[in-house]
Structure 1
Amino acid sequence: MMKLALMRIATGKEDPELPLLQRISSLELTAPPNAAQINASQSSSNRHISTSTVQRRLRESGLHGGIAAMNQLLKDTNNKKRLDETKFEIFGSNRRVFVRRRALHGRFIQAIPYSLGPLRFASSFKAADLTIERNTAGKPKPDPASLVFGKQFSDHMLTIYWSEKEGWKVPQIKPFQNLSLHPATSALHYSIELFEGMKAFRGVDNHIRLFRPNLNMERMHRTADRSCLPLFDKEELLECIRKLVEVDQDWVPYSLDASLYIRPTYIGIEPSLGVSRSSQALLFCIVGPVGPYFTTGAFSPVSLLADPSYVRACRGGVGAYKMGGNYGPTISVQNEAIKQGCQQVLWLYGEQEEITEVGTMNLFIYWTNEGGERELLTPPLDGIILPGVTRQSLLDLAREWGEFKVTERTMGMKELLGALDSGRITEVFGAGTACVVCPVGSLLYKGKTYQIPTMQNGPDLAKRFHKELTDMQYGRKQSEWAPLVV
């Protein structure tokens, strides 16, 4: 037996919860009066419920919020966990769904996977409901040549509020303004927040493009899930962001060395000092014109400090998610790097001193491996590496070219320094949305500076990657990776 309780809001008004009994041989999710009934019968010999059938029936009946919750529940079912040891209850509304696990003796306990705990899943806001309030007092646009990163902002912003009681409110584009937050706002005390980083580019044809925005939405969705913030429809959010860029299109610099930075942000705003999931949330997006991320220029080499006494992330933690809590603690280490004459930090991990990331960038090494092969190597997505959009793009391009081996694996400092000493390192560079591609020129490790021959080798590969991506972004090359905004 598996026990389900689902509630559907047919008219937008709150209805009582509807507990229902679920047998493995059939699925009957009954909605309130005047709402559709879901029936998905299974063969009596089938011990598992069809995931696709459940999802389709939930979707057809408007129970969108239940789909994500059911995904994990049915995944465990299909993994043949013993259902006679555990019963589940799902309850809530089409705005939000809770999942709880019940032990045989009837006491509720939290499931080990957090997705099976009392986590809210919310049906999404709709971009079609978006309202726009124009700013009648627009600011002057800055000279693209004077732009620095993250200091100037446009005339408008996107806000979308959510509450456990009322669900999602209508998305709004309104004049750029300060937020009003309670002093006990959960994001301020316990870092219940996350963000994304995207860019819009004005092309040589004067059209404005994004770059692989679906990957940003996927990552933001995963991070929201990990942060216990209500989920949303990724396409709906992307359309709201696209509309914001369209409204503020005059802020996209007329320059091939600048862009409009897009910062979607998601915070818990419940006024409570309890360490728990937030019953209120705000999803907002601000944009602003930016120049090169590093003041030294768009393609100048950076120097790195590698100090094993500092760790950016640990396995089992949240290093693979784009949360603000991953960034604040790095500032003191960055300052230490500057004191020692370096510009960025090469983050190491574990007894083998695995190389992981460079500052806020993913790391790439182009070298000749021990087998004599030309190889592009980057650390794997093993829980401590952020799955960067630029990282994925470089891997996709390299594999498409098929000219050298492409590998995702760990590399320790001992192996890296050995390759440097034997002259097998050709280029080392970071990659990220803010900087695109950034060459590395030197490495300070345990008091010794190691020169990296990136610039002496062109750097041919880093420049090739940079040109390939920027050609797409600025419309010099047509690509499905760079969808038009306007």
Structure 2
Amino acid sequence: MSASKTNGHGRAPLSASSLFFTPLPPAHVVTPGKESHGRYMLTVPWNRVSGWGQPRIGPRQDLSFDPLAGVLQYAVTCFEGMKCYKTDQGDLRLFRPSKNFDRLKRSGARLGLPCDWDNDELLELFAKLMALEAPLVPNTDGSNLYIRPTLLETSEGFGIKEDAFAAEALLYVVTTLNLGKGLYASSEGEGKGIKLDACKEFIRAWPGGTGSYKLGANYGTVNISKKPGYAMSLWLHGKEDFISEAGAMNVFIIKEAADGYTEFITMSLSNGIVLPGITRESIIELLNEHAEGKREFPIQGVPKNIRVVERDLSMPEIINGLEDGTLKGMFGCGTGVVVVQVGEIQYQGKTYQIPSNPLIKTLRDTITGIQRGKIDEGKSWSFKVPAWNPEGADGQSDEEVTAA
């Protein structure tokens, strides 16, 4: 990949070959309270004039910024959520990582942050970080090492700037154990579904806003809405009380159509309110191929007469479906939770019970089976992490070494 040009200067591309590795010191001790966090972190600085700096993997540590940095003043930051899984054979797997990288590029572009890296180069850096954390990755069903890539503005972002683009930025990646594990069993059947509060007091996103981007500001400003006793808020918008997401999940309902087909209905991406979820996209692709006869669904139990519908979906329609019996189930999906069944919704002072549906567990088991290398969906969605153990990785030396 050749360096791009801006203002007459050559900008360096992101390059995995220049990785600088610092092993854990022999006397490394985990900080109390952070036992579930990964030991290492990846950092890559960026400058508007020179481009990407040297990638570094070293011991996890605090970051420091100028008090007027854009990330602190105006929340100029975006992130991704990914997971690393361990197969029964001990291999490490990532699920469709390039999809996350593309979405991070899209979010970065929305904020004036860098978005011009080669995904293969970034994937090589991710793989090395995951290989170092291999001993921490659990191999039990529902467990994972959660990965948080974050991109933020480190240059001063205070006041009115000449343009909206950052002068300096930082891409960093840290890990932690088992995000979403507590909700894993929520798709197991009757009485296991999560409880949602249909929120009208706060609005998560609106047409023309940033709801379809994974920006830090989208999440920090709405946490206050979560009511005690409920797993998440079910976000509403418009006078029709259209639903968008639940917490940070995409949402589907399962409905019996007038022609006897089973419909999987989820909100369209066209209005820019809903995040284009990678789990959402994967479920839609598998269901559509099954419905079209192109490829059998990876796990038996999904009927042939199905269709996926992407359109607006309102709370009154959900209530009507409960009353006439056409609503057959409801679930959320996302990287953190995979697939979770919705069992109850509070809306306008009333509580509505949502029926369970075995198809929800089938969807969950399919996605997790692909993620952990148990199911081959024929699309190479599961990326096998190559082994990498640089000299000193186990803490024998506290001197820095350049990775080969």
Give the TM-score range, shorter chain. Answer: 0.7 to 0.9
Instruction: Report what 2:4 is aligned to.
Output: 65
1:139 shift after superposition: 5.0
Instruction: Report what 1:190 is aligned to.
Output: 74
Alpha-carbon displacement from aligned partner over 1:305-343 (angstroms, at most 9, x marks no partner): 113332110111110000110001111111xx22xx422
Aligned residues: 361
Contact 1:139-1:155 within 8 A present in 2 as well: no
Structure 1 CA distance, aligned partners of 2:243 and 2:177?
A: 32
- Name the SS of the counterpart of 1:362 in structure 2: strand
Note if 1:254 corresponds to 2:139. Answer: yes
Structure 1 CA distance, aligned partners of 2:28 and 2:364?
A: 34
Amino acid in structure 1 at the alignment position of 2:218: N
Instruction: Report what 2:251 is aligned to.
Output: 363
Instruction: Report what 1:421 is aligned to.
Output: 323
Q: Larger radius of gyration, structure 1 or 2?
A: 1
Structure 1 CA distance, aligned partners of 2:71 and 2:286?
A: 38
Alpha-carbon displacement from aligned partner over 1:87-140 (angstroms, at most 9, x marks no partner): xxx844331xxxxxxxxxxxxxxxxxxxxxxxxxxx521011111111124557
Instruction: Report what 2:343 is aligned to.
Output: 441
Pick which of 293-302 and 168-177 moved more. 293-302
Instruction: Report what 2:87 is aligned to.
Output: 203
Q: Determine which of 475, 483, 486 is the counterpart of 2:373.
A: 475
Amino acid in structure 1 at the alignment position of 2:69: T
1:287 shift after superposition: 1.1
Contact 2:256-2:263 within 8 A present in 1 as well: yes
Structure 2 CA distance, aligned partners of 1:91 and 1:176?
A: 35
Q: Mapping of 1:333-344 within 5 angstroms? A: 333-334=225-226, 337-338=227-228, 341-344=229-232
Alpha-carbon displacement from aligned partner over 1:426-448 (angstroms, at most 9, x marks no partner): 11000010010110011111001
Structure 2 CA distance, aligned partners of 1:196 and 1:436?
A: 15
Structure 1 CA distance, aligned partners of 2:346 and 2:9?
A: 56
Pick which of 421-430 and 395-404 moved more. 395-404
Note if 1:286 corresponds to 2:177. Answer: no
Pick which of 380-389 and 160-169 moved more. 160-169
Structure 2 CA distance, aligned partners of 1:180 and 1:91?
A: 29
Instruction: Report what 1:324 is aligned to.
Output: 216
Structure 2 CA distance, aligned partners of 1:260 and 1:398?
A: 27
Structure 1 CA distance, aligned partners of 2:268 and 2:179?
A: 30
Note if 1:134 corresponds to 2:73. Answer: no
**Larger RCO, structure (CA 8 Å, separation 6 or more):** 2
Note if 1:374 corresponds to 2:262. Answer: yes
Instruction: Report what 2:36 is aligned to.
Output: 152
Instruction: Report what 1:222 is aligned to.
Output: 106
Structure 1 CA distance, aligned partners of 2:283 and 2:89?
A: 25
Contact 1:304-1:442 within 8 A present in 2 as well: yes
1:355 shift after superposition: 1.1
Amino acid in structure 2 at the alignment position of 1:261: Y
Contact 1:210-1:484 within 8 A present in 2 as well: yes
Structure 2 CA distance, aligned partners of 1:298 and 1:416?
A: 20
CA spacing shift, 1:354–1:447, aligned 2, 3 Å:
same
Structure 2 CA distance, aligned partners of 1:385 and 1:266?
A: 21
TM superposition outliers: structure 1 runs of 4+ over 6 Å = none
Alpha-carbon displacement from aligned partner over 1:250-282 (angstroms, at most 9, x marks no partner): 121132231111110001001342244321111
Amino acid in structure 2 at the alignment position of 1:127: A
Instruction: Report what 1:464 is aligned to.
Output: 362
Contact 2:241-2:314 within 8 A present in 1 as well: yes
RMSD: 2.2
1:230 shift after superposition: 1.6
Structure 2 CA distance, aligned partners of 1:296 and 1:260?
A: 14
CA spacing shift, 1:141–1:185, aligned 2, 3 Å:
closer
Note if 1:396 corresponds to 2:285. Answer: yes
Q: Determine which of 170, 176, 179 is the counterpart of 2:60.
A: 176
CA spacing shift, 1:360–1:286, aligned 2, 3 Å:
same
- Taking only the aligned residue pairs, the percentage that are identical comes to 35
- Structure 1: gaps (5+ residues): 1-58, 67-89, 96-122, 143-147
Q: Determine which of 296, 303, 306 is the counterpart of 2:198.
A: 306
1:301 shift after superposition: 1.1
Amino acid in structure 1 at the alignment position of 2:376: Q
Note if 1:484 corresponds to 2:369. Answer: no
1:475 shift after superposition: 2.0
Structure 2 CA distance, aligned partners of 1:296 and 1:400?
A: 26
Contact 2:196-2:230 within 8 A present in 1 as well: yes
- Structure 2: gaps (5+ residues): 292-303, 387-404
Contact 2:179-2:336 within 8 A present in 1 as well: no
- Name the SS of the counterpart of 1:483 in structure 2: strand
- Name the SS of the counterpart of 1:94 in structure 2: strand
Contact 2:10-2:50 within 8 A present in 1 as well: no
Contact 1:319-1:326 within 8 A present in 2 as well: yes
